[in-house]
A and B are shown apart, each in its own frame.
Chain A
Amino acid sequence: MLFTSYEFLAFLAIVLALYYILPKKTQWAVLLAASYAFYALSGIEYLAFIAVTTITSFAAARLMGRVSDGEKRYLEGRGEELSKEEKKAYKAKKKKRRFLILCLALALNFGILAVLKYTAFAVVNVNSLLHTFGAETTLTVPSLILPLGISFYTFQTMGYLIDVYWAKAEAQKNIFKLALFTSFFPQLIQGPISRFSDLAPQLFGEHKFERKNVTYGLQRILWGYFKKLVIADRVLIAVNAAAESPENFGGVYVFLLIILYSVQIYADFTGGIDITIGIAEAMGIRLAENFNRPFSSRSTKEYWNRWHITMGSWFNDYVFNPVSVCRPMLAISKKSRKWFGKKVGKRIPVYLATVITWFLTGLWHGAGWNFIVWGLLNALVIIVSQELEPLYSRFRKRFPRLCASWGYGAFASIRTFLLMGLIRSLDVYRNVPLTFKMWGSIFTKFNLPELLSGGISALGLGLADYIIIVCGCIIMFAVSSLGKERSVRDRLYNRPVLSWCLCGALFVAVILFGAYSVGYDASQFIYNQF
Chain B
Amino acid sequence: MKRIFALLLCFLMIFAVVSCSKDENEEENGGDKGITTSQKSSVSFYVNYKSVKIELGADAKAVISALGTAKSSLSMGNCGGLGTLTKYVYDSLEIYVLASGSTETVDQITLLDDAVQTPEKVSVGSAKDAVISACGNGYSKMTDTSITYTSGSKNLKFTLRDGTVTGIDYLTVS
Contact = CB atoms under 8 A, between A and B. Distances in A.
A and B touch in the complex (CB under 8 A): yes
Nearest to A371: B32
B33 interface: yes
Given A45-B26, A120-B37, A430 B32 contact: yes
Given A52-B11, A144-B23, A59 B4 contact: yes
B153 interface: no
Interface stretch (B12-20, B68-76, B114-122, B129-137): B12-20
Nearest to A46: B29
A384 interface: no
Contacts of B26: 45, 143-145
Contacts of B15: 48, 52, 112
B101 to A, nearest CB: 11
Interface majority SS on B: helix, strand, loop or mixed?
A: loop
Interface string A137-162: 00001111111100000000000000
Interface string A82-121: 0000000000000000000000110010001001100011
Interface in A509-530: 524, 528-530
Contacts of A148: 29
Interface in B5-37: 7-8, 11-12, 15, 18-19, 22-24, 26-35, 37
A151 to B, nearest CB: 10
A59 B8 contact: yes
Contacts of A121: 34-35
Contacts of A370: 34
A43 B29 contact: yes
Given A48-B18, A116-B19, A124-B35, A146 B11 contact: no
A143 B32 contact: no
Contacts of A56: 8, 11
A292 to B, nearest CB: 27
A322 to B, nearest CB: 23
Contact of B34 (A43, A430, A524): A430
B11 A55 contact: yes
Please classify how large the interface on chain B is, using the bins under 10, 10 to 19, 20 to 34, 35 or more: 20 to 34
Given A124-B35, A369-B34, A146 B4 contact: no
Interface string B70-112: 0000000000000000000000000000000000000000000
A115 B34 CA distance: 17
Nearest to B22: A145
Nearest to A66: B1
A115 B16 CA distance: 10
Interface majority SS on A: helix, strand, loop or mixed?
A: helix
Contacts of B24: 143
A366 B8 CA distance: 28
Contacts of A143: 23-24, 26-28, 37
A142 B27 CA distance: 9
A43 B29 CA distance: 10
A214 interface: no
B32 A45 contact: no
A66 B26 CA distance: 39
A41 B32 CA distance: 23
Contact of B35 (A66, A108, A367, A530): A367
Contacts of A59: 4, 7-8
A120 B28 contact: yes
Contacts of A52: 11, 15
A367 B31 CA distance: 8
A105 B23 CA distance: 23
Contact of B22 (A45, A55, A367, A371): A45
A529 B19 contact: no
Contacts of A362: none
Contacts of A199: none
B4 A529 contact: no
Interface in A475-530: 524, 528-530
Contacts of B32: 366-368, 371, 430, 529
A18 interface: no
Most chain-A Cβ atoms within 10 A of its Cβ — which of B1, B4, B35? B35
A63 interface: yes
Contacts of B18: 48
B40 to A, nearest CB: 12
A116 B19 CA distance: 9
A120 B31 contact: yes
B13 to A, nearest CB: 11
B27 A145 contact: yes
Most chain-A Cβ atoms within 10 A of its Cβ — which of B1, B19, B28, B33? B28
Nearest to A369: B34
B37 A144 contact: no
A146 B8 contact: no
Given A52-B15, A59-B7, A143-B37, A529 B30 contact: yes
A197 interface: no
A132 to B, nearest CB: 18
A142 B23 contact: yes
A304 B35 CA distance: 28
Nearest to B28: A143
27 contacts: A45-B26, A56-B8, A59-B8, A63-B1, A63-B4, A104-B8, A105-B8, A108-B8, A112-B19, A115-B19, A120-B37, A121-B34, A141-B37, A142-B23, A143-B28, A144-B22, A145-B26, A145-B27, A145-B28, A146-B28, A146-B31, A147-B29, A367-B31, A368-B34, A430-B33, A529-B29, A529-B31
Given A141-B37, A529-B32, 18 more contacts: A43-B29, A45-B26, A48-B18, A52-B15, A56-B8, A59-B7, A62-B4, A108-B12, A116-B19, A121-B34, A143-B28, A143-B37, A145-B28, A146-B29, A366-B32, A368-B34, A529-B29, A529-B30
Q: Which 10 A-B pairs have the closest CB atoms?
A: A529-B30, A368-B34, A145-B26, A146-B29, A430-B33, A366-B32, A368-B32, A430-B34, A120-B35, A141-B37
